[in-house]
Amino acid sequence: MAQIVSLASCQSIQGSCGLAQVQTKLTEGDTPPSSSRCGPLFLSSPRASLSLPPRALRSLCPAPSTAQLSSLLCACTASHTEHCIDSKMAITRLACLLTLLSTHCYFNVLAVVLRTNNESPWTDEFDKIELSCLIESISTLNPRIEWKKIKNEGPSYVYFDKKVSGDLENRAVIREPATLVITNATRSDTAKYRCEVTAPDDQKSFDEIVIDLTVRVKPVMPKCSVPKSVPVGKSAELSCLEEEGFPKSQYQWFKNKEEIPDDPKSSSKFLNSSYTLNADSGTLNFIAVRKEDAGEYHCRAKNDAGYAECPAQTMEVYDIDIVGIILGVLVVVVVLLCITVGICCAYKKGYFSGQKQAGNNYKVPSKGDGVDYVRTDDEGDFRHKSSFVI
Tell me if residue 279 falls in helix, strand or coil.
coil
Q: For residues 171 and 182, is the Cβ–Cβ distance under 8 A?
A: yes
Task: List, in sequence order, every beta strand (DSSP E) within 169-312.
Answer: 172-175, 179-182, 191-198, 206-216, 223-225, 229-231, 236-241, 250-255, 258-259, 275-278, 283-286, 295-303, 306-309
Q: Is the pLDDT of residue 48 over 90?
A: no
pLDDT at 267: 86
Span 306-327, pLDDT tens digits: 999 999 999 999 987 677 778 8
Span 267-290, pLDDT tens digits: 888 888 899 999 999 999 999 999
CA distance 138 to 109: 7
pLDDT at 242: 96
Banded pLDDT at 24 (limits 50, 70, 90): very low
Lowest mean pLDDT among 1-5, 64-68, 193-197, 331-335: 1-5
Q: For residues 145 and 178, is the Cβ–Cβ distance under 8 A?
A: yes
Q: Is the pLDDT of residue 57 over 60?
A: no
11 burial class (0-12, 13-18, 19+ CB within 10 angstroms)? middle
pLDDT at 277: 95
Residue 354 or residue 270, greater confidence? 270
Q: Is the pLDDT of residue 170 over 80?
A: yes
Computed from CA positions of residues 324, 327, 333, 335, in that sequence, does the dihedral angle turn out positive or negative? Answer: negative
CA distance 87 to 70: 11
pLDDT at 347: 77
pLDDT at 32: 42
**Eight-state DSSP code of residue 303:** E
Q: State percent of the chain over pLDDT 90.
A: 46
pLDDT at 330: 86
Q: For residues 323 and 314, is the Cβ–Cβ distance under 8 A?
A: no
Tell me the one-letter amino acid at 121.
P
CA distance 302 to 197: 40
pLDDT at 36: 35
Cis peptide before 53 (omega within 30 of 0): no
The mean predicted confidence, pLDDT, of the chain is 75
Helix (H) or strand (E) segment spanning residue 36: none
14 burial class (0-12, 13-18, 19+ CB within 10 angstroms)? middle
Phi, psi angle pair for 123, to nearest 5°: -155, 160
**Eight-state DSSP code of residue 269:** G
CA distance 80 to 85: 14
Burial 355-383 (b: 16+ CB within 10 A, else e): eeeeeeeeeeeeeeeeeeeeeeeeeeeee
95 backbone φψ class: left, alpha, beta (φ>0; ψ -120 to 50):
alpha
Banded pLDDT at 243 (limits 50, 70, 90): very high
